[in-house]
Structure 1
Amino acid sequence: MDDETGTPPGYLTRKGDYLKRMRRIEGQVKGIERMIGEEKYCIDILTQVSAVTKALQAVALGLVDEHMSHCVLDAARAGSPEAEVKLKEASDAIARLVRS
């Protein structure tokens, strides 16, 4: 469930896509681990770290978009005071992403 309200998360329609992306990212991370174990060239490892970082950012941005278009929008349409809470959650999440 999305939160204490018991509503399903907005990303459910794309859950399979997110899981597929995360499995791909997991494979990339294991590849980096293998590269380090095999003492590969630093720049090659850094290139892979950059690719994983971009992949995780893409997942994060997709989830933020889903949160805005589902959770925040639904709360705002309902005229719920929860809309401000949902918007603040999104704003805080975006701030964390920007800092990372």
Structure 2
Amino acid sequence: AGKRGYDLSSLRARQVGARDFSEFDLILAMDEDNYQNLLRVCPEAHRHKVRLFLSFSRRYRGQEVPDPYYGGAQGFDLVLDVVEDAAAEIIDWLRG
């Protein structure tokens, strides 16, 4: 990520909390397991906010974001390609 100009040093993973469903407009899951787990704990009124990250992707739609840890340096490059593709579409979607 750093080679492409992204500084991720301040980002930390955390568990989704109950308040997140009411506080955020969009909650993205990177894979089907996480998507199903989110739907299981999400209140019915907020289920429309939960989406698969790659549902926004043109190039990788219908796939899951791969786990980069099993692909070496190339795995991380692939994940970044996938994330950049979907992120561009998310930006377009947000701009409406």
Same fold by TM-score greater than 0.5: no
TM-score (norm 2): 0.34
TM-score (norm 1): 0.33
Please say which structure displays the higher CA radius of gyration: 1
Name the structure where strand makes up a greater proportion of residues: 2
